[in-house]
Homo-oligomer: A and B are copies of this chain.
Amino acid sequence: MADLSRRQLFGVGAAAVGGVGLGLGAGAVVARPAQADVVAETVPFHGEHQAGVETAPQAHATFVGLDLRPGTDRSALVRLMRVWTDDAARLTEGRGALADTEPDLATAPARLTVTVGFGPGAFRAAGLDDRRPSWCKPLPPFEIDKLEDRWNDGDLLLHVGSDDPVTVAHALRVLLKAARGTAAVRWVQRGFRRARGSEPEGTTMRNLMGQVDGTVNPTSGSADFADVVWNDGAEQPWFAGGTAVVIRRIHLDLDGWDELDRPGRDEVMGRRMSDGAPLTGESEHDAPDFEAAGPGGLKIIPEFSHVARARPMAPRERFHRRAYNYDEAPDGIGVSDSGLIFVAYQADVDTQYVPVQRRLAEADMFNEWSTPIGSAVFAILPGCRKGEYLGQGLLA
């Protein structure tokens, strides 16, 4: 516990070490304000599944796609996974990583999670392409796509989430330093939601168009969630407990959307902007009635509205959405460069996400204001127990 001793010596964040209010080192020399008031909420790193998927979304998330450097083989991947596992386990407990050069930035985990995924290139580099889940490959092209290579694909995914943006920046730097010799950053997508405490727990997010976004998600902790999200290992036994993530960068044309009035927006979505209720219902979680007709005989929820096109047409066509907003500097023409980092988890991309996305690409009124500009698919590794490393079931 050299790390802990050093930290006690410097009197830094002792109360936060080891999780919520454990009070380790309470008798140590504390040369700055006691950290008892610090929000040091932690999310366990170890477990059957990786954290950061079923975890209630934190306020901040950064997604990084990395390319393996030429010559990276299975043993290099094992080394990286060992280090990332150790770093993530420490950081998520509010401790500095081993040889952390700024351990004082690690003291407020604020529900920090670190989630790691493999793209097709990682399986190839490890010489294990036969153990790649069949859906772990780029999505088929969709007619609406205007993909820019700078937001596409990657051999590895690193997803760091926390309610504190300084914690995200610190954890990301620690993890990217560890990967420096093995992988290079391909893209970085920084996303945000409401600050923790700004809304009651469990409020569905609104995106920057003001839409209530993510209403029909499976409920965390339910058998339904497990069924939709966690892979059962039927195709690839090592992957049991993993999940598939689709990350789509979707530019939202806020300037164009402004030209629509409120009733027009409701029609496009099939839901009310005000509260997310379907046009046939009273509150957000009411089931939409796609058959109901209005006075003129027209359907109340238009056939080509987003909600009508996005609904599952088969029992498996569901996934867990965990999106983030992005807002970059405008290019001098529009007022905003804003959009959604659409993030969807499911056991199998081909049977769950792809058919829904195909229907949306064919006809969805909302396509006029939303453009996919980036796309990536990763196999989110199963969780690991203490003493194991991420990906051990595949790489060992």
Name the residue of chain B whose CB is nearest to the CB of A177. B335
Q: Does A110 contact B (CB under 8 A)?
A: yes
**In the bound complex, how far is the Cα of B205 from the Cα of A40, in angstroms?**
17
In this complex, what residue of B is CB-closest to A265?
B101
Is A325 an interface residue, CB under 8 A from the partner?
A: yes
Contacts of A292 in B (CB 8 A): none
Task: Report Cα–Cα, A160/B206, bound state, in Å.
Answer: 20
Q: Which one, B110, B180, B336, contacts A195 given CB within 8 A?
A: B110
Tell me which residues across on chain B come within 8 A of A188, comparing CB atoms: 329-330
Alpha-carbon gap, A33 to B285, bound state (A):
11
Contacts of A350 in B (CB 8 A): none
Shortest beta-carbon distance from A203 to chain B in Å = 6
- Cβ of A104 within 8 Å of any chain B Cβ, yes or no, is yes
Of A164, A172, A195, A327, most buried by chain B (CB within 10 Å of CB) is: A195
Asked if A258 is an interface residue, CB under 8 A from chain B, the answer is yes
Let me know if A222 is at the binding interface, CB within 8 A: no
Report the bound CA distance from A37 to B173 in whole Å: 34
User: A194 with B35: in contact, given A187-B329, A332-B184, A335-B180 (CB under 8 Å)?
Assistant: no
**Using Cβ atoms and an 8 Å threshold, which residues of chain B touch A72?**
none
Q: How far is the CA of A193 from the CA of B170 in the complex (A)?
A: 12
Docked complex Cα distance between A314 and B203 (Å): 54
**Contact bitstring A106-136, B, C-beta under 8 A = 1, else 0:** 0010100000000000000000000000000
Q: Count this chain's copies in the assembly.
A: 2
Neighbouring B residues of A199 by C-beta, 8 Å? 35, 37-38, 108
Query: Which residues of chain B have C-beta atoms less than 8 A from A144's C-beta?
Result: none
Interface string of A159-175 (1 = CB under 8 A from B): 00001111101101100
Given contacts A164-B198, A199-B38, contact A32 B176 (CB under 8 A): no
Indicate if A276 sits at the interface (CB-CB under 8 A). yes
- Asked if A143 is at the interface (CB within 8 A of a chain B CB), the reply is no
Contact of A166 among B34, B192, B284 (CB under 8 A): B192
How far apart are A305's CB and chain B's nearest CB, in angstroms?
19
Using CB atoms, name the residue of chain B closest to A257: B101
Within the complex, the shortest CB–CB distance from A8 to chain B, in Å, comes to 11
- Please indicate which of the listed interface residues A11, A101, A258 has the most CB atoms of chain B within 10 Å of its own CB: A101
Whether A274 pairs with B104 at a CB distance below 8 angstroms is yes
Q: A277 near B338 (CB under 8 angstroms)?
A: no
The answer to whether B275 touches A31, judged by C-beta atoms less than 8 angstroms apart, is yes
Q: Is A105 an interface residue (CB 8 A)?
A: yes
* Contacts A104-B273, A169-B327 known; 20 new A-B pairs at CB < 8 A: A10-B272, A31-B277, A31-B283, A32-B284, A33-B202, A59-B165, A101-B257, A102-B209, A163-B195, A165-B195, A167-B198, A169-B325, A169-B338, A173-B208, A173-B338, A176-B336, A185-B330, A195-B195, A195-B196, A197-B197
The contact sample of 7 A-B pairs, CB cut-off 8 A, is: A31-B277, A34-B200, A60-B165, A104-B210, A108-B198, A164-B198, A185-B332
Residues on A lying within 8 angstroms of B by beta carbon are 10-12, 31-35, 37-39, 59-60, 101-105, 108, 110, 163-167, 169-170, 172-173, 176-177, 180, 184-185, 187-188, 190, 192-200, 202-203, 206, 208-210, 254, 257-258, 272-277, 282-284, 325, 327, 329-330, 332, 335-336, 338
**The 6 nearest A-B residue pairs measured at CB:** A102-B210, A10-B274, A188-B329, A165-B192, A164-B195, A108-B198
